[in-house]
């Protein structure tokens, strides 16, 4: 039969273990991504909440014709068809996946432009947004209460490189279409073909009504853009709804030929992610 002293020790140990567990939770690493996708799974698309893989994409580990070399394992090959606009549209919806929407997020992916990538004009690349199906894309101007977005953009080829930046719908936008904010800090010239780049984007939403929202971007861990005075919203109800893997050629213009690119090692986190590919 246990003595009172034994019971006391058992109870003390239980309380100590409970407190240790709570401390471990409080002190657990906060740099672990909340979402990862390396496209190595046979059913990778289920992680994005899809019932079947999207069109115009394939998961590949080789493609000599397009100058492909793996980053780590397989990658997602995306095609924009001649005469068309669309490459892919994948969305990680925070409310559906996590039950809530953040106000600050980091989004990292690896990008490789294929041998046939030679756009004369620009279009859209992956980014972050909160359109809620109401405003913030396609000429649907925002007013601070209905939506916002900070997708990526690419410009027409210049000197063999593709300029990239943010295509932003915000509450102070002058026209019905988003503004083009190119990443050029430190003389960043854009992206070459047939090379992997680590692209990381950061958004923190503004205090409603104030111009203190922040956009940043890094390429291969080099800060290439920072804008600390963006007003995305006027109301608390607008949050970060989605990370949007969107590849779209246009505007109104269409692709003059088939274009391809590759995406790999997508990660979403609460802190800087950088070039790391091993979070476990």
Read off the pLDDT of residues 50-102 as tens digits, 9 standing for 90 and up: 999 999 999 999 999 999 999 999 999 999 999 999 999 999 999 999 999 99
Q: What is residue 233's three-state secondary structure?
A: coil
Token pair, residue 165, equals 């930046």
Q: Mean per-residue pLDDT for 153-180?
A: 97
Evaluate if residue 7 carries a pLDDT over 50. no
Rg (alpha carbons) of the chain, rounded to whole number = 22
Condensed to tens digits (0 to 9), the pLDDT of residues 185-242 reads 999 999 999 999 999 999 999 999 899 999 999 999 999 999 999 999 999 999 999 9
Token pair, residue 44, equals 């990778």
**Residue 19: CA count within 13 A, CB half-sphere:** 6
The span from the CA of 203 to the CA of 32, in Å, is 18
Say what the pTM is. 0.87
Contact, 163 vs 125, CB < 8 A? no
The answer for residues whose C-beta is within 8 angstroms of residue 100's C-beta and 6 or more apart is: 94
Other Cβ atoms less than 10 A from the Cβ of 81: the count is 16
Condensed to tens digits (0 to 9), the pLDDT of residues 238-278 reads 999 999 999 999 989 999 999 999 999 999 999 999 987 55
**DSSP element (H, E) containing 225:** strand 222-230
Residue burial 178-210, b: 16+ Cβ < 10 Å; e: rest: bbebbbeeeebebbebeebebbbbbbbbbebee
The span from the CA of 77 to the CA of 88, in Å, is 10
Residue burial 107-118, b: 16+ Cβ < 10 Å; e: rest: bbbbbbbbebbe
């Amino acid at each position: 039969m246990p003595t009172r002293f034994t019971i006391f020790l058992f109870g003390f140990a239980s309380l100590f273990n409970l407190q240790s567990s709570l401390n471990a939770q409080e002190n657990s690493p906060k740099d672990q991504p909340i979402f990862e996708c390396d496209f190595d799974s046979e059913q990778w698309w289920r992680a994005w909440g899809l019932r079947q893989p999207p069109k115009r994409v394939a998961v590949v580990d080789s493609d000599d014709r397009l100058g492909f070399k793996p980053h780590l394992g397989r990658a997602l090959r995306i095609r924009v068809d001649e005469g068309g606009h669309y490459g892919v549209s994948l969305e990680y919806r925070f409310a559906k996946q996590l039950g809530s929407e953040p106000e600050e997020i980091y989004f990292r992916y690896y990008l490789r432009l294929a041998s046939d990538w030679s756009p004369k004009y620009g279009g859209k690349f992956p980014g972050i947004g909160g359109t809620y199906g109401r405003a913030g894309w396609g000429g649907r101007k925002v007013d601070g209460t209905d939506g916002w977005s900070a997708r990526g953009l690419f410009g027409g080829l210049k000197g063999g490189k593709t300029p990239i930046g943010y295509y932003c719908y915000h509450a102070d936008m002058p026209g019905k279409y988003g503004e083009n904010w190119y990443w050029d800090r430190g003389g960043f010239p854009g992206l070459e073909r047939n090379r992997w780049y680590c692209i990381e984007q950061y958004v923190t939403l503004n205090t409603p009504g104030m111009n203190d929202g922040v956009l940043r971007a890094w390429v291969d861990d080099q800060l290439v853009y920072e804008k600390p005075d963006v007003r995305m919203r006027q109301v608390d109800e607008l949050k970060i709804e989605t990370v949007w893997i969107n590849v779209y050629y246009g505007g109104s213009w269409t692709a003059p030929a088939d274009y391809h690119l590759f995406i790999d090692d997508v990660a979403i986190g609460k802190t800087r992610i950088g070039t790391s590919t091993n979070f476990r």
